[in-house]
Copies of this chain bind each other. A is one copy, B any other.
Amino acid sequence: MELEQNFSILIETLGTIAFAMSGTFAAMQKRFDPFGVLIISFVTAVGGGTIRDLLLNVPVFWMHDIFICAVIFIATVLGIIIKYFEKNFQVTLFLFDSIGLGLFTIIGIQKGLNADLHPVICITLGTITGCFGGILRDILLNRIPLIFRKEIYATACILGGTVYLLMIQYSGISSIVKQMITILLIVTIRTLAVKFHWQMPKFYNDIHDGRT
């Protein structure tokens, strides 16, 4: 039990670092100043979880947890330094973003299950926790959220979440193993999708073209 709890804290910390860095890199690309970078980094890291906690009407996770704030601050400073010396960082950023997505999706589903919600609502909560940090980041940067441009993003999240929910019913396997399988699955789907240029079928509408 203690091991599982430590694993949960590890997951949350890693996901926070991953999203804080993704926010840091995005804000630096728009040439924000350090405090602007810190705000974007903070919103990206806690945004999804904050909306989840507000929806669940439970205390917002970072309000009583100075540890998360410290993690975000250190990840932001590290991110700034890394980006400064190593400019070609696309691959690492992508990997961080995928891992963060997997980690946060699991936390969201778990919190929904703890509140005795319907499985579909749990997957919705997992998707919100995983995706809305990045969505808020992109809204603040005034661009169409990445999730709507790189389409396998939400798909990976929803698929991974569904598999996790199916696995959870088999009490034989340790929950740590189930969570690692889910994270691996989400990262694998996204990596393969990018490598082989997978795309969901898009809708094309020739009439409204260029008018919106």
Query: Of the 9-residue stretches A27-35, A102-110, A180-188, which lies at the interface with chain B?
Result: A27-35
- Given A59-B57, A205-B83, check contact A66 B121 (CB 8 Å): yes
Does the CB pair B117–A64 fall under 8 Å?
yes
Does the CB pair A140–B140 fall under 8 Å?
no
Contacts of A200 in B (CB 8 A): 33-35
Neighbour of A155 across the interface among B35, B69, B208, CB < 8 A: B35
* A204–B37 CA distance with the chains assembled, in angstroms: 13
Contacts of A14 in B (CB 8 A): none
Does the CB pair A63–B140 fall under 8 Å?
no
Does the CB pair A36–B154 fall under 8 Å?
yes
* A181–B107 CA distance with the chains assembled, in angstroms: 43
Instruction: Provide 5 A-B residue pairs closer than 8 Å at the C-beta atoms, listed in order of the A residue.
Output: A28-B205, A39-B147, A62-B121, A63-B117, A87-B205
Given A40-B148, A142-B144, A143-B212, 14 additional A-B pairs, CB 8 A: A28-B203, A31-B203, A31-B204, A35-B155, A35-B200, A36-B148, A39-B127, A54-B55, A56-B63, A83-B205, A87-B207, A135-B140, A140-B148, A142-B142
The 9 closest A-B pairs by CB, nearest first: A33-B200, A33-B151, A35-B154, A36-B148, A28-B203, A142-B144, A87-B207, A66-B118, A29-B208
On A, residues with C-beta under 8 Å from B are: 27-37, 39-40, 42, 50, 54-57, 59-60, 62-64, 66, 69, 80, 83-84, 87-88, 117-118, 120-121, 124, 127, 131, 135, 139-145, 147-148, 151, 154-155, 158, 199-208, 212
